[in-house]
Structure 1
C-alpha cells in the first residue's frame, strides 16, 4: 500500500480504538494519567492506551508533541534520542525515523523505528498524530540499532468544553520492540514509560507557558 493509504488505515484504527471501550484493563495510574491495556489485534503484544488531562491549550500541547526535526519533543521525551524526517510526502504526511535510547537498565538496547505519520486537524480543535511502521529505501536497518515496529499508534489532543486551558490527551502505543526480550520486561516497560511520558509532557507545557 502507498504511504497515504497506510496512514489513513492507521488513523481509522486509532479512531476505532478511541471509541471501543471494551476489554481495557487498568495497569497503571498516576496523578497525570491512567494507562490501560488489552491484547493487540495487530501483533502478539499489547495495545496500550493512556488517558490524562494536560494543563494547557490543545495547540500548546501539540507544540510539545508534534513530530518534527529540532522540535520540542526531543528535548522532553526521554524515549526519543533522535528524530529525522526521511520523506515529506505532503504538508501533513511524512515518513520519519525515531531513535530510542537504552531502557530498563540497558536490558532494552537502542532501537530505531521508521513510520509514516499523518497529522489531522478537526473542526472542534482536536489535533491527532497517526502513525504506523513502513519501509523506506532512504532508511534501511542500521548497525547498532534493533529495528522495532510501531503498529497503529498516536496521540489525540482534544479540547475540553468550558476548560480552554486544559486538554484531554489520549495516547495509543502498540510497539513490537523486536529482539529477544523477556515478555515480563516488555509488559512492565510500557506502562512505566507512558506514565513518565505524561509527567514529562506536563512539565514541558508548563515551561512553554512560562
Structure 2
C-alpha cells in the first residue's frame, strides 16, 4: 500500500472539509462549541465537524492534541485508551493503532483502529493531523476488539491572528464503528462525544504550563 499517497490524499480531503461550508447542519451547540454533520461521501454514514475556540496558544493546544505515543491526548481524551506507533513512514507520516474503550453505557464495545496519519503544516500557520484507515501487516484484527474504520478525519489548529493566546480548533470525525450497532446509537454518540472532547481539551490546555 502506498501510505504516502494515501496520507497526502487525506490531507487534501480534510482541507476541503474546512473550506466547504455547504451542507452542514448543526446538531449540537454549546457556549464554546458547535457540532455539525452532513452525509459522508466516503461510507454510508455521516461526517461530523466540530468548531471551537480554545484559550491557549497554538503550540500549547497542539501539544495536547498531537497524535504521538505517550502523548498528552491518551490522558485526557476519553475516547483514546491506547495509542501505538506501528511504523514511521516519513518524518510527517506514521501508521498507528488506536484503542477506544467501551462507550454509551457499554452498548459500544471496545474498538481498535489502524490509520495512516499525516502531520501537516499549513501556509496560514495552522497545523493539522489527518488520518484514514489502512491495513498493516503488523496489526491484524485482534480478539477482544471490534475493528473499526476511520474515514478521512482529524484536527486542524488555526491561530487566531488578533488573539495569540487563542486557537481555533476544527475536528472532523467519520467513523465506521463496525459491529451491529443501531444507527440511533451512533448518531447520538458522536455529537455528545465531540462536545465532551472540546470541554476536556480546554481544561487540559488550561492546566498545562507553556510549551
Q: Shared fold by TM > 0.5?
A: yes
Partner of 1:134: 134
Partner of 2:86: 86
Matches within 5 A, 1:165-184: 165-184=165-184
Partner of 2:13: 13
SS at match of 2:89: strand
Matches within 5 A, 1:4-83: 4-83=4-83
Contact 1:148 1:176 in 2 (8 A): yes
SS at match of 2:95: strand
Pairwise CA distance, 1:125: 2.1
Counterpart Cα distance in 2 of 1:162 and 1:74: 31
Deviates more, 1:181-190 or 1:30-39: 30-39
Aligned length: 210
Partner of 2:152: 152
TM-score (norm 1): 0.98
Contact 1:133 1:150 in 2 (8 A): yes
Counterpart Cα distance in 2 of 1:122 and 1:181: 37
Find runs of 4+ consecutive structure 1 residues off by over 6 angstroms.
none
Partner of 2:100: 100
Counterpart Cα distance in 2 of 1:154 and 1:75: 18
SS at match of 2:112: strand
Pairwise CA distance, 1:179: 0.2
Counterpart Cα distance in 1 of 2:68 and 2:202: 19
Listed as ranges, the gaps of 5+ residues in structure 2 are none
Contact 1:32 1:195 in 2 (8 A): no
Cα shift readout 1:9-32 (whole Å, capped 9, x = no counterpart): 111111111111111000001123
Counterpart Cα distance in 2 of 1:123 and 1:172: 20
Listed as ranges, the gaps of 5+ residues in structure 1 are none
Counterpart Cα distance in 2 of 1:208 and 1:122: 25
Counterpart Cα distance in 2 of 1:119 and 1:190: 24
Alpha carbon RMSD of aligned pairs, Å?
Answer: 0.9
Contact 1:58 1:125 in 2 (8 A): no
SS at match of 2:144: coil
